[in-house]
A and B are shown apart, each in its own frame.
Chain A
């Protein structure tokens, strides 16, 4: 029998809001109407540019921008073709200024950051950079690897937080993760600073100060049974 085709990046350990993978996403609200030009970067290199129209007339309350599709890095052709960006032409998105833009990575190795500035040539000021979240931007994370993590803000000097992810229950238990947990990020640090997550439970960082959230595994939890098998 054929094995399932699973993106190996689902097993990626550790997250960085400035280098998004399929386990992390950023949400931002663009309140100022206008035309924005965005760049998707993988590492330091620009992978793709796109345009975002923030328009009061737009009916889009939530624009979903898949950076992996934009960058053309999805491992399977069907996934590449399913999205917006199969050719090299100009890619445009639209959102209402009262809505939100979700930047996510649907598959592949990831490691993307996104940067948007006004398309107006007289305006050079960057208005959004996912490596420096602020002003109510959110970073959401799926931390799948059970264990203990350090959560740090690479843009500040605030104390780090501790994150613990529990091991999954036994097979065929119909387990459902609880609601996502919210953490506030300010110049003083994280609140709460001791974060307990159930397996696959979402984690949302609400950034009130410049932030680049980095989640680093410190101690893995391989489960109570031998070989990491839960009992």
Chain B
């Protein structure tokens, strides 16, 4: 039988969870190449809402946790296949081909299309976890220090209770149709911006007229089979693996970074007296939940 038992009600646990949730932020910038195109991104996000349930089997379930993308900026770059002023045949050959012709004039180059999706909200639909107690030795603690010296230096060892996820399920980001239109407009603008300012209007208008509708260009270059929104959703979620990175970051954060509670070891008792505090060592700390509360047990000595 354990020497020590500490309990926190479900309500208290939920309040503690809010502190953990609100401490989470994730920010990253990176780029990747995908053959016909490359993409770079800059993201920053935090978590909001979410409902938490404690179960008698010792598991914790967190549902509908909002992922708020404070920053979600993408830039997609690709080699625009270019403007082509078609050539023509002067002397046809006897087999319906062309023996002598004026070649096409090709004008092409890379374009980059920025897209700002900041403010989007997606969802972590489910986190299933259990509690895990981990012993923490403060890395700033010097080897020769006594427990008391470590406490005075503010670097005591600790037992930490973490929400250790068994799995985190992040829903795909739902990119609205308006964003698809924005992306197409941005491509149109980027193509227009490719043309040098000195180019006379009639040449610009001719080159632009020779282009396919931008949606066809996008589909051809970026291997988009359905809608632009689906492409962006796949780009963010799968190709850039942002959803996977969030899963990992959330799981790592809950399991290792921000404990739901922590106990100093040795644990100080009788701290208000004139003497130095009395401290008792904690051993074999374990944490569990049932449907009503969180229970932490441990031994003294």
Contact = CB atoms under 8 A, between A and B. Distances in A.
Are both chains from one complex?
A: yes
Nearest to B91: A100
B208 interface: yes
A189 B91 CA distance: 22
B111 A199 contact: no
A27 B212 contact: no
Contacts of A222: 201-202
B86 interface: yes
Point out which of B85, B87, B93, B205 has the most chain A C-beta atoms below 10 A from its C-beta.
Answer: B205
Counting chain A CB atoms within 10 Å of each CB, which of B90, B91, B99 scores highest? B90
B91 A171 contact: no
B115 interface: no
Given A4-B195, A8-B198, A168-B205, A200 B108 contact: no
Nearest to B200: A11
A199 B90 contact: no
Contacts of A99: 99
A99 B214 CA distance: 41
Contacts of B99: 61-62, 99-100
Interface stretch (B186-194, B236-244, B292-300): B186-194
Given A171-B208, A172-B211, A223 B195 contact: no
Interface in A165-220: 167-177, 179-180, 199-202, 204, 220
Interface residues on A, range: 35 or more
Q: Could you say which interface size class chain B belongs to?
A: 35 or more
B58 interface: no
Contacts of A27: 90-91, 100
Interface stretch (A69-77, A119-127, A139-147): A139-147
B100 A228 contact: no
Given A100-B99, A170-B209, A171-B208, A228 B202 contact: yes
A25 interface: yes
Scoring B87, B91, B190 by chain A CB atoms within 10 A of each residue's CB, the highest score goes to: B91
A25 B102 CA distance: 8
Interface of A is mostly: loop
A3 B195 contact: yes
B108 A227 contact: no
B90 A223 contact: no
A146 B204 CA distance: 12
Given A4-B195, A172-B208, A146 B85 contact: no
Contacts of B85: 10, 142, 144, 200
Nearest to A180: B88
Interface string A138-169: 10101011100000000000000000000111
A6 B91 contact: no
B105 interface: yes
A102 B103 CA distance: 11
A100 B89 contact: no
Given A2-B109, A168-B205, A171-B211, 16 more contacts: A4-B107, A4-B194, A6-B195, A10-B105, A22-B105, A27-B100, A142-B102, A168-B206, A168-B209, A171-B209, A172-B211, A175-B210, A180-B90, A200-B85, A202-B88, A230-B205
26 contacts: A1-B111, A1-B112, A1-B190, A2-B110, A10-B85, A10-B105, A11-B199, A61-B93, A62-B99, A138-B90, A138-B91, A140-B102, A142-B85, A142-B102, A144-B206, A172-B211, A173-B211, A174-B212, A200-B86, A202-B87, A202-B88, A202-B90, A220-B202, A223-B205, A228-B202, A230-B209
Closest 3 CB pairs of A and B: A202-B88, A171-B208, A168-B209
Interface of B: 85-91, 93, 99-100, 102-103, 105, 107-112, 188, 190, 192-203, 205-206, 208-214, 216
